[in-house]
Chains A and B, each alone.
Chain A
Amino acid sequence: MVERGAPFQIDVDGQPILAYAGETVAAALFANGKRILRYTSKRREPRSLYCGIGVCYDCLVTVDGLPNQRACMTQVKPGLVVRTQRVVEFGGRQ
């Protein structure tokens, strides 16, 4: 039905992952079997996508050093560096 755009690599937790132009970080991660995006600070429970449309803020990952970005609303770019979140870091480029 659709043909994806140009493919390139992004860095997810230190591993190269295939992504396509126009995709969201969430789509790229899910397509590569990575569904757990972070662990919560109180109960240390795994979280992933929930609403998928930018409302629930569950799908938070660190993108190019900026923590707490919504994976479902962030677009991939060649060389993008994504980190799933274990501990919430202080704001600021990491």
Chain B
Amino acid sequence: MNSTDVVVIGGGAIGASASYYLSKEGLRVTLLERRELASEASGANMGGFPSQVMSDEVMQLAGQSARMYQTLGAELGYDFEFDPTGSYILMDKADQWRRLEENAERLWHRHGVKVELLNERELREADADLAPDIPGASYCPDDFTVNPTKVVLGFAQAAERLGAEIRTFTEVEKICVENGSVKSVITSRGEIRTGFIVIAAGAWSPNVGRMLRLRIPVRPRRGQLIVTEACSRARIRYMLDIDYLVTGYDLEAVKTAEDPRVKLGVATVLTQPPSGNWLVGSSRDFPGYDKRTTIETLRLIARRATRFLPKLKYTNIIRTFAGLRPFCEDDHLIIDKVEEINGLVLATGHHGEGIALAPSTGKLVAELVTKSHTSCSIEQFSYYRFRDRELTEREMGTGTTS
């Protein structure tokens, strides 16, 4: 039987990042992924770092991550197509200035993040391809885009160089706990003895938690994307819909909404990576573990996006796909050590911010494993804010699907 110091479950951005930072601490790490690296949400997103629309709770983590990203490429020896695009929240209607101003104030006063408000003329000067009737925008120069799959691969390869073992197409079948401590992990390719497990399985974390009778209150929230053919390089390559500030896509708004666009959580995000293809997103719904794209949502995404960038209408769609974001029931993530079982760390529920927060999350996981305390406060990500942490007999009886 193999033995290792830490088993990381989940080959997405969080798992790969955790593997790297743990390996940096000199620990032997085995990363388990049931398909290929970045096969789920981490490989099915826009690759943007949108600090402008992140919640207050994650801003410190985000700031740390952003700083880490500046030198990460060099540190990992991997090019993940870091592009200092900045981000632009685009207005739809003239009565939305207040929203932008309030957000700008929030970002500056609470987090020291400076954004610049651009009027109609300034925006057109910045990029003439944008729709002429966009009243204005909020520009954050420090935001950027990356190739999310390459971020995952970069972390994984760097971890391997430090001695980590990456096992793809390997499923976790059972977790053995003895006397309240993690003992081993049984996989589809054999058993691994270990004293530490990190659950970083995104929307599939609940399945792993179930093996320990733990409730991990995360469920899949689908986001659909359209990829266009390669186009000439635009000047503004990262844009967000004002609706991220207006509707926020909280579940109540979605429940009561009549407008199909709001019901399906469609709001525009546009990124243009170096390949030249436009990534046109996005949406939010809860279809279970269904990664199919739907014609209704694709239509809504296309229509909304062309409101901001009309030329997209005349590009060819090369493919569409969807990712399942891990949505935590109270819309905040979980980074914590589990008290009830020795040797268990949870790092999951990152929803639409997994790529953005991967570096700092990975570092925190390494701290939780090696030191049991963290360099910054993670109170707000505590697992113990959930009262029912143990699955009932009935819940254990019914299976979760994947």
Using a CB–CB cutoff of 8 Å, the interface residues on chain A facing chain B are 41, 66, 68, 87-93
Using a CB–CB cutoff of 8 Å, the interface residues on chain B facing chain A are 129, 228-232, 234, 276, 311-316
Q: Which of B231, B234, B312, B313 contacts A88 (CB 8 A)?
A: B231
In the complex the two chains form, what is the Cα distance from A89 to B231 in whole Å?
A: 6
Question: Would you call the interface of chain A mostly helix, strand, loop, or mixed?
Answer: loop
> Mind listing 17 A-B residue pairs with CB under 8 Å?
A41-B276, A66-B314, A88-B230, A88-B231, A88-B232, A88-B276, A89-B232, A90-B231, A90-B232, A90-B311, A90-B315, A91-B229, A91-B231, A91-B311, A91-B312, A91-B313, A92-B315
In the complex the two chains form, what is the Cα distance from A66 to B314 in whole Å?
A: 8
Q: Which of A41, A66, A91 contacts B228 (CB 8 A)?
A: A91
A68 near B316 with CB under 8 A, answer yes
B316 near A91 with CB under 8 A, answer yes
Q: In the complex, how many angstroms separate the beta carbon of B235 from the nearest chain A beta carbon?
A: 12
Q: In the complex, how many angstroms separate the beta carbon of A62 from the nearest chain B beta carbon?
A: 12
On chain A, the residues within 8 Å of B232 by CB distance are 87-90
In the complex the two chains form, what is the Cα distance from A68 to B276 in whole Å?
A: 14
On chain A, the residues within 8 Å of B314 by CB distance are 66, 91-93
On chain B, the residues within 8 Å of A68 by CB distance are 229, 316
A90 near B316 with CB under 8 A, answer no
On chain A, the residues within 8 Å of B316 by CB distance are 68, 91
On chain A, the residues within 8 Å of B228 by CB distance are 91
On chain A, the residues within 8 Å of B312 by CB distance are 91
Closest to A94 in B: B314
On chain B, the residues within 8 Å of A89 by CB distance are 231-232
Sort A-B residue pairs by CB-CB distance and give the 10 closest, nearest first. A91-B315, A92-B314, A91-B314, A90-B231, A92-B311, A90-B232, A88-B230, A90-B311, A91-B231, A68-B229
In the complex the two chains form, what is the Cα distance from A68 to B228 in whole Å?
A: 12
Closest to B315 in A: A91
Closest to B233 in A: A90
Q: In the complex, how many angstroms separate the beta carbon of B41 from the nearest chain A beta carbon?
A: 28
Closest to A92 in B: B314
**Assuming A68-B229, A90-B129, A91-B229, what are 9 further A-B pairs, CB within 8 angstroms?**
A66-B314, A87-B232, A88-B229, A88-B231, A89-B232, A90-B311, A91-B311, A91-B314, A92-B315
In the complex the two chains form, what is the Cα distance from A80 to B234 in whole Å?
A: 29
Closest to A66 in B: B314
In the complex the two chains form, what is the Cα distance from A87 to B276 in whole Å?
A: 12
Q: In the complex, how many angstroms separate the beta carbon of B152 from the nearest chain A beta carbon?
A: 24
Among A41, A90, A92, A93: residue with most chain B CB under 10 A: A90
In the complex the two chains form, what is the Cα distance from A90 to B229 in whole Å?
A: 9
Q: In the complex, how many angstroms separate the beta carbon of A60 from the nearest chain B beta carbon?
A: 10
On chain A, the residues within 8 Å of B311 by CB distance are 90-92
Q: In the complex, how many angstroms separate the beta carbon of B345 from the nearest chain A beta carbon?
A: 43
Among A66, A68, A92: residue with most chain B CB under 10 A: A92
Q: In the complex, how many angstroms separate the beta carbon of A64 from the nearest chain B beta carbon?
A: 12
In the complex the two chains form, what is the Cα distance from A41 to B276 in whole Å?
A: 11
Closest to B275 in A: A41
